[in-house]
Amino acid sequence: MHPPIRMVAIDMDGTLLPTFTQAVSARNAQALRAAQQAGVTVVIATGRRTGYTVPLLEGLGLRADTPLITSNGAVTSTLAGTLIDQRRLEAHVARGLCAVLREFGVLVFTFDRPGNELVVEDLDKAQGRIALWVEANRKAIQVVKPLENALKDGDDPIQGMVAGGLSRMRQAEKALKASQWGDACECTRTEYPGRDLSILDLLPKAVSKGTALQMLAAQLGMDRKEVMAIGDNWNDVGMLEWAGQAIVMGNAALELRTMARTRGWKQTPSNDEDGVAVALEAALKKLPDARV
């Protein structure tokens, strides 16, 4: 029997957001507000950078101190912009990653600075599978060729990213693990089979959504048994494994849903069926004096 939840960590793409829109549904938004009103700490945990996350949450009526875990765990802050924790990928490691991975797909590095937060080597190459991402982030993108010139010692990026087709990114992941840099960073995979798109996030060592969630829960004095995590992709596995109550979306890949069954994780309806709201409404009914 699980205790009532005190914290819930929720992924965005494929989880909180519907498939064909960047707007949180009315039912999901209401469920987030209801959770906060019931005293539950709502955490948004995403692979997106902070500047690409906040605009989607504004106007939902969430508290200013709502925690955001962004860049797959490298940054933890609040919706209002207060920094809680930040980890960086050492510049010399990032330069080494360029040599290993540039042949496999589009390489991007994210920095913590106003303007030009994203650095790419070839914008034309980035127009394919991630064209929508490029368009949405164009004002923050700087082109530097070779990319190593943007990765100077003392100016460490928050994270790197390489994107391409599913099979190509699996090859890239193998190449990274076989290289001298495989143990110098964390590599987290996100896959979108319907678009033949895979993203490898290159993170500081020991950084993930799971480690960031664990740190945040410890700061707030919460036991993992009181924490729920909801996600749909491979980059969510760390927080699903750590949380005492894990829920996988119905739209998750079959392989991940199979893993969920073997580990006793629950499943909720898909992101297009307000699966987050369904899970939260059920959890809130178990709270004393909850009104959903």
What residue spans in the chain does CATH classification 3.30.1240.10 cover?
91-203
Q: Residue 77's beta-bridge partner residues?
A: 68, 83
C-alpha to C-alpha distance for 116 and 243, rounded to whole angstroms: 35
Q: What does DSSP assign to residue 2?
A: P
**Residues whose CB is less than 8 angstroms from the CB of residue 236 and which lie 6 or more positions away in sequence, other chains included:** 11, 15, 45, 209, 229
Placement of tokens 């849903």 in the chain: 257
What residue spans in the chain does CATH classification 3.40.50.1000 cover?
7-86+207-284
Q: What does DSSP assign to residue 5?
A: P
C-alpha to C-alpha distance for 266 and 244, rounded to whole angstroms: 11
103 phi and psi, to 5 degrees? -75, -15
Domain 7-86+207-284 has CATH 3.40.50.1000: yes
CATH pick for 91-203 out of 3.30.1240.10, 3.40.190.10, 3.30.1450.10, 3.40.225.10: 3.30.1240.10
C-alpha to C-alpha distance for 51 and 43, rounded to whole angstroms: 16
- Determine the residue type at 129: R
DSSP, collapsed to helix, strand or coil, labels residue 158 as coil
How high is the pLDDT of residue 128?
67
The answer to whether 159 and 72 are in contact (CB under 8 A) is yes
- Confidence category of residue 292, pLDDT binned at 50, 70, 90: very low
pLDDT (tens digit, 9 = 90+) per residue, 170-211?
999 999 999 999 999 999 999 988 888 899 999 999 999 999
pTM: 0.93
* CA 266 to chain CA centroid, nearest Å: 20
pLDDT (tens digit, 9 = 90+) per residue, 211-262?
999 999 999 999 999 999 999 999 999 999 999 999 999 999 999 999 999 9
**Residues whose CB is less than 8 angstroms from the CB of residue 106 and which lie 6 or more positions away in sequence, other chains included:** 120, 122, 125, 126, 128, 130, 162, 163, 164
Q: Which two tokens stand for residue 80?
A: 């209002």
C-alpha to C-alpha distance for 237 and 3, rounded to whole angstroms: 22
DSSP, collapsed to helix, strand or coil, labels residue 83 as strand
The answer to whether 251 and 18 are in contact (CB under 8 A) is no
CB count within 10 Å of CB 168 equals 16
pLDDT (tens digit, 9 = 90+) per residue, 40-75?
999 999 999 999 999 999 999 999 999 999 999 999
